[in-house]
A and B are shown apart, each in its own frame.
Chain A
């Protein structure tokens, strides 16, 4: 699967990255979602310039590219941090106190849910189910799952993240 972390340095140019992504599917219009997923993995989000470039290179109207990119939760049209924190708000996690976990994370990082920190390090998101309810309350930091982490555990993980 995709790696959701991207280094701020050395981000590829939009046209080059799009050319590579489009080319790997043989310029097939049907591969629009796959192309966007690949580009999301490269940039961490989908900047407007990238979407316009995709529209041009795939010969798909920009309207349609935006419709797809804004429909799926997997895509972000807003800049995201280098590290994505997903706190599960599913029913099982909810009853096992995931709201408190979210509050703790919010307090430790001094940011609200759905926000990206000003230094571009973290984005704090809530999701509806991560599919591992037995581990609840669960938080996924860069796709590594942590079951009911203590504040100290969280601090350690956040400190090690650049």
Chain B
């Protein structure tokens, strides 16, 4: 079964059940993402892929990675509202990811594209940036694809951290799949390749993260 929808004015035919994000990418329309990964279940934590959707005359904002296509949908991937949402999201993420006040990689590109003021919320964040945006790509890849469960989330709210479990990290020496996934580069730069003690569960319990 296929459904017909409109994305940015373009008529798109998509397989029923796929997400707006997948349909847009098939049609060659780019939507930025930070927590999305093709091999993983949608997570919907970064919200960067938010789009405007109009169904039966009602407009709402949804995350395109977690919302399936419907017949007759009208999707806008860019609009003043969407641009403002993405700009604010980047501004909120910036203080935790910046190294010496500078953004890197994809975050830098996004900040430039959406004109984000990366210093806007700086004064309200802790001194030492965690460099983790809690996208969960490492955690989910380790669980869903590798099956080792060597890295996981601990805590809640502002104390939430991704932590390594050293006793499970034997496979990490050869795997290191999450090193390339990390959108902020925290894992490769802060993890000792042999002992994985950069941010272990024991560090978390000792209140050092």
What is A's interface to B at a CB cutoff of 8 Å?
A: 61-64, 66-67, 70-71, 77-78
**How distant is the Cα of A62 from the Cα of B167 in the complex, in angstroms?**
10
8 Å CB contact of A66 from B143, B152, B156: B152
- List B contacts of A70 (CB < 8 A): 154-156, 204
- Taking chain A's interface residues, is the majority helix, strand, or loop, or is none over half, making it mixed? helix
**Are B152 and A67 interface neighbours, CB within 8 A?**
yes
Report chain A residues within 8 Å CB of B201: 66
| Chain B positions within 8 Å of A67 at CB level | 152-154
Q: Report the Cα distance A41→B186, complex, angstroms.
A: 38
A62–B165 CB distance below 8 A: yes
- Kindly state the separation between the CA atoms of A78 and B205 in the bound complex, as whole angstroms: 8
How far is the CB of B175 from the nearest CB of chain A, in Å? 15
B150 within 8 A of A: yes
Residue from A63, A71, A78 in contact with B168 in the complex, judged by beta carbons closer than 8 Å: A63
Pair B143/A61 contact, Cβ less than 8 Å: yes
On chain A, the residues within 8 Å of B139 by CB distance are 63
Question: B13 in the interface, Cβ–Cβ < 8 Å?
Answer: no
Q: How far is the CB of A33 from chain B (nearest CB, A)?
A: 14
Contacting residues, chain A, for B168 (C-beta < 8 A)? 62-63
Most buried by B among A67, A77, A78: A67
Judge if B149 is at the interface, Cβ distance under 8 Å. Answer: yes
- The reply to whether B149 and A63 form a contact with Cβ atoms under 8 Å apart is yes
Please tell me if the beta carbons of A71 and B155 are within 8 angstroms of each other in the complex.
Answer: yes
Could you say which residues of chain A place their CB within 8 Å of the CB of B153? 67
A63 touches B205 (CB 8 A): no
Q: A66 contacts which chain B residues (CB < 8 A)? A: 152, 154, 165, 201
- Bound complex: CA of A64 vs CA of B153, how far in Å? 8
Report the separation of the CA atoms of residues A123 and B134 in the bound assembly, to the nearest whole angstrom: 32
- Interface flags, B127-154, vs A, CB<8A=1, else 0: 0000000000001000100000111111
Q: Quick one: which of A66, A77, A78 has the most chain B CB within 10 A?
A: A66
Instruction: Give the docked Cα–Cα distance between A70 and B165 (Å).
Output: 14
- Rounded to whole Å, the gap between the CB of B144 and the closest CB of chain A is 12
Beta-carbon contacts of B178-209 to A below 8 Å, as 1s and 0s? 00000000000000000000000100110000
